[in-house]
Structure 1
């Protein structure tokens, strides 16, 4: 009898531990989506300023951090982002390591692992900035420095070209998946009203397509840098966004992309609320 009670107590303890773990990781994921949403909304707003010629700093993550730092309680908000990005890294890492089952293939876990590493680096960069480390070099300069270093390696031209093709492919996949509304599979749409579902769907489609366009455009510039063996052809997010204003469509294309990034930020907030985590 005592042994039965012991086993029962042990099972209850394990169940409680699993429940606590799930709740913790769920909260981490929601915090991460909020942090992502804040940055995308700010990048979109900075891009809009550039498009209409009303100033604006860097239209990238560093520019977004600078924008936050200039506001009241900016330092506290920056540290909140540090927590949010760290939480996103934790959630993505847990999906890569802990989640198993027939629906979680090795490729999916590897993708989550890569995202965990990415958000960990974003968390670190944000923490450095919040601690007074400054903005550092621009994303455009970082991209060109990486490209220059890569081109000096054996088969460096092929490596940079492959990286450009990879970015283009990621952008196309993001845009197509958004257009096909694949993101709805990850949301608890049953908890939404019909009107809310329509709004969230519009946010996901518009935002996802715009995000994919930015990735693909950055990949094109990287591919051109490889073909021409010129690292100065590579562009970061800010320079990529500014390039949209130099097309025949003029600043209107940049306006459309900027609005799309704001939509994606809003979709991230919706994901924090309705994503199945």
Structure 2
């Protein structure tokens, strides 16, 4: 199923389920286990899709594809490398990524995002799997020059608009072998498959849960494949995971 968060014609935030280009409205967020469908139905083109969730935090996994580690000149880490993007970095489909004036190189990083569906802490891999609500597309936008300058990643990853996610959350797919691509102005720049993860999703979630409590709506970015590169103002960037959909964004100063 495809779950959406959107603005209706009255600029009210609503939630729904997509079925054949129609949105069946829900009476509350789809993350609430008590949510129910209403009698209201909208056409998809009538609404403006938003980031499908409002996470308390976005936890990102770095260096989860061997070829990406190679292109960055890093070594294979002993444990998953994690960092956090703030809530203020999150934007939705068709929104604008702002290129910071203090950065000379802002890169795209296509990723599969995991949406957490229940509160968890210190869980096993089996429990972690049961806590997943669904999946969406993400772009871990990075000011690469600032990342190299700082020697750690917080500033480079945390600018407002640096975490596009969407266009919706898909709940009924197997994430273990998903094709993932990034297109810049229609040209494929990244193309890989989640079967090349160094650390699989259940293990990642379990690992993260040993550090911090995860809440419904929290987002985990699972790492980007090789092929990362710069974006310029005026560019259009698309993260494409065929089993989910396409996340379109543009770049501006």
Q: Same fold (TM over 0.5)?
A: no
Going by fraction, where is strand more abundant, 1 or 2?
Answer: 2
> The TM-score by the shorter chain falls in which range?
under 0.3
Provide TM-score, normalisation by structure 2. Answer: 0.27
Hey, which of these two has a bigger chunk of helix by percent?
1
- TM-score of the two chains, using structure 1 as the length reference: 0.26
